[in-house]
Amino acid sequence: MPKTRKSYTTERKLQVIKLAEKVGNRAAGREYGIDESVVRDWKKNKAILETMNPRRRALRSGIPLWPTLESKLKTWVLNERKDGRVVHLLSIIMKAREMANADKITNFNGTLPWCQRFMKRHSLCIRVPTSVGQPLPPDWETKAKQFNCFIERNKVDISLQHIGNMDEVPMSFDMPSKFTVDSVGADSVKVTTTGAEKCNFTVALAVTADGEKLSPFVIFKRKTIPKADFPKGVIVRAQEKGWMNTEMMCQWWDQVWSRRKGSFFNPKSLLVLDSAPAHLTSEVKDKFKNTTLAVIPGGLTKILQPLDISVNKSFKSKIRRHWEQWMVNGYHEYTKSGRMKKASYEEVCKWIDSSWREITPECIKNGFIKSKVNYYDNNQELEEVETDSECTDTEIPDELIEIIDNFNIDSDNDFD
């Protein structure tokens, strides 16, 4: 008959330890019918057992055999994350082995189970990044304050409808989501697309501080403007690389900024832009001679640009929803080889028009309010309201990590 393994509560372990301290490990073991080596191990863990629930039986997280190494390793992980660098399980194991060699620890293997226990002991877990981009520069507070002072000086006597923000949003003809539902244990999780994930274009969005939306300015990667019946509220242009340059910027002024509400009499205005090269050329400055251009310092758009704070993410998620509906229920054309063609220019512009209409004035105003810039004076009665759920960053539940790790896209690179 195999020997039955027994378990003891924390309360019973402490009783054995108390007796062992008086009469010795062997005598205490005989009294309770426990092996002397077990009593010895319990005595080593006495400090931890005293902090545990008296009814708890197991100490499954384990006690670190190399506490100094783990302390240094945790500090390294937190410093790497503080600098925004990616930390994988493999990198933790490799760094731990490197530290063990430096400390001349010969019995350290650094296995995956050890790494998992290390993370549990130190409250570390695998997370999905909620934002990707350059870290804030060391002197960001000084630069943000200087930019705020510039806005304060130049917004005098300018109404909210003439304080604007413009930003270019890179888009693609295929926008698959990062997550999907599938069977547990599936070898791979595939998402079908038309293969146009790298077929990009640019949408220039612009808003004003009173919550007004200006016409979206779409730049397709073409030499000529496609012939189609585009929605009235969308301005379509073509550029060989599909992005904003000096020529497109001047056309944006003619077609969008100069046609905003109340601009007929050329009132004084203020336009907030990022530091993209196309925004800083002499031709652009001459074109915007009646508009003060406030250029956001490099690396600070995520805290100073209203569109980045509250609008862009919501807009892109709405576009993705339209694409997903089109993939399921939309009209599709196929090549002679049977491959699905990407959405037409007209269809994409309809998505843009519909998604832009869904953005609320409150969402726009929140971008101006939440930025570290005083666009509104104290006497202007503007209350912060809840933005769309898609306007804010959300944390991804840990339960989705297994699906994310196996995620890949089944795409068709041969499209017309």
Digit-coded pLDDT (tens) for 342-393: 999 999 999 999 999 999 999 999 999 999 899 987 645 454 444 444 444 4
- Please state whether beta strands 163-172 and 200-208 pair in parallel, antiparallel, or not at all (unpaired): antiparallel
| Residue 71 maps to a domain | yes
Question: Residue 72 pLDDT more than 90?
Answer: yes
pLDDT at position 410 is: 41
Higher pLDDT, 180 or 385: 180
Shared-domain flag, residues 102 and 214: no
pLDDT digits (tens, 9 = 90+) for 277-286: 999 999 999 9
| Residue 414 maps to a domain | no
Shared-domain flag, residues 149 and 39: no
Mean pLDDT of 251-272: 91
Q: Looking at 139-153, 180-194, 298-312, 400-414, which range is the least confident one?
A: 400-414
pLDDT digits (tens, 9 = 90+) for 81-137: 887 888 989 999 999 999 999 999 988 888 998 998 899 888 888 887 766 666 778
Shared-domain flag, residues 215 and 339: yes
pLDDT at position 397 is: 44
| Residue 134 maps to a domain | no
Where do the DSSP E strands lie in 75-216?
Answer: 163-172, 200-208
Q: How many CB atoms lie within 10 A of CB 287?
A: 19
The token pair that represents 223 in the structure block: 């030499």
Shared-domain flag, residues 53 and 177: no
Question: Residue 219 pLDDT more than 80?
Answer: yes
| Residue 332 maps to a domain | yes
* Position 134, amino acid: Q
pLDDT at position 132 is: 65
Give the DSSP letter string of 205-231.
EEEETTS-BPPPEEEEESSS---S---
Shared-domain flag, residues 205 and 274: yes
Q: Looking at 108-122, 140-154, 220-234, which range is the least confident one?
A: 108-122
Q: What percent of the chain has pLDDT over 90?
A: 57
Give the total number of structural domains in the chain: 3
Shared-domain flag, residues 155 and 18: no
Question: Residue 395 pLDDT more than 80?
Answer: no
pLDDT at position 36 is: 92
Question: Residue 416 pLDDT more than 60?
Answer: no
Q: Is the pTM of this model over 0.85?
A: no
169: which strand partners? 203
Shared-domain flag, residues 237 and 339: yes
Shared-domain flag, residues 235 and 384: yes
Q: Domain span at residue 390? A: 143-400
| Residue 89 maps to a domain | yes
Residue owning tokens 């999780």: 189
pLDDT at position 380 is: 53
pLDDT at position 4 is: 67
The token pair that represents 44 in the structure block: 């080593």
| Residue 130 maps to a domain | no
| Residue 412 maps to a domain | no
Question: pLDDT category, 52, cuts 50, 70, 90?
Answer: confident
* Residue partners of 291: CB distance under 8 A and separation at least 6: 257, 269, 270, 271
CATH (domain of 164): 3.30.420.10
Task: Work out the mean pLDDT of the chain and round it to a whole number.
Answer: 85
Among 37, 59, 81, give the residue marking a domain's end. 59
Shared-domain flag, residues 53 and 87: no
Give the residue from 18, 13, 21 showing the smallest Cα distance to 49: 13
Shared-domain flag, residues 231 and 316: yes
Mean pLDDT of 224-237: 94
Mean pLDDT of 158-180: 91
Shared-domain flag, residues 96 and 11: no
Using CA atoms, how far apart are residues 70 and 78, in angstroms rounded to an integer? 12
CATH (domain of 49): 1.10.10.60
- Please state whether beta strands 269-273 and 235-239 pair in parallel, antiparallel, or not at all (unpaired): unpaired
Which DSSP category does 309 fall into? I
Question: Residue 248 pLDDT more than 80?
Answer: yes
Q: Looking at 62-66, 252-256, 379-383, 399-403, which range is the least confident one?
A: 399-403
Mean pLDDT of 326-350: 92
Shared-domain flag, residues 73 and 193: no
| Residue 409 maps to a domain | no
Q: What percent of the chain has pLDDT over 70?
A: 87
Backbone angles phi, psi at 218, to 5 degrees: -100, 130
Question: pLDDT category, 257, cuts 50, 70, 90?
Answer: very high
